[in-house]
Structure 1
Amino acid sequence: MNFTRETLWLTVGFLGQAVFTGRFVLQWLYSEIKKRSVIPVGFWYLSMVGSALLLAYAIYREDPVFIIGQSFGFVVYLRNLQLIAKHKDLKE
């Protein structure tokens, strides 16, 4: 198999998209289990990982629209995890 640079970046892009989509599956299943709409902490981790991979892919593709969109999302996901960590510290 000839694994080119382009194939590598397509793999990163598809992996990022798969992780990013996985966050919705996680949220949906978690909410079904809880019988109410809930966003688990794992949703934010998957959001960050998926966003980081998609951002790397967007930078490689030099797509400014995609870069801006993923950059903003990454900041939001990081901030949510910071707020969750802060709230967790206050409980203990």
Structure 2
Amino acid sequence: MTQEHTIWLAVGFIGQLLFTSRFLVQWIASERAHRSVVPLAFWWFSIAGGATLLAYALWRRDPVFAVGQASGLVIYARNLMLIGRHRRDTCPQ
């Protein structure tokens, strides 16, 4: 196994760890609130994990994996935009 291959495997595992962390954050927030909650950190972990996994998918030249991650990034970014707009509209300065 080459050093480049080892580095990219590490990138893939880091991306998967970031992506999985979003579920842990969501679960902990929901347990604390005693209701289903999707905290802002969920979307940031989604972006970080999705972008890292997209880089890994591109390195692997896996079009199915790459399209799936790229599509998810659009959705995660849109959710962050909607949250930002809602905060601007409801929090007068």
Structure 1 length as normaliser, TM-score?
0.96
- Tell me how far apart the structure 2 counterparts of residues 78 and 9 of structure 1 sit (CA, whole Å): 25
Q: Which ranges of structure 1 fall in alignment gaps of 5 or more residues?
A: none
In the alignment, which residue of structure 2 is the partner of 1:51?
A: 50
- Tell me how far apart the structure 2 counterparts of residues 18 and 24 of structure 1 sit (CA, whole Å): 10
In the alignment, which residue of structure 1 is the partner of 2:88?
A: 89
The Cα RMSD (Å) is: 0.9
Deviant stretches of 4+, over 2 Å: none
| Residues 7-64 of structure 1, C-alpha deviations (whole Å, 9 max, x = no match) | 1100100000000000000000100000000100100000000000000000000001
Structure 2 length as normaliser, TM-score?
0.95
- Tell me how far apart the structure 1 counterparts of residues 25 and 39 of structure 2 sit (CA, whole Å): 8
Identity, % of aligned positions: 51
| Residues 47-92 of structure 1, C-alpha deviations (whole Å, 9 max, x = no match) | 0000000000000000010001000000000000000000000012
SS at match of 1:18: helix
Q: Which ranges of structure 2 fall in alignment gaps of 5 or more residues?
A: none
- Tell me how far apart the structure 2 counterparts of residues 12 and 85 of structure 1 sit (CA, whole Å): 29
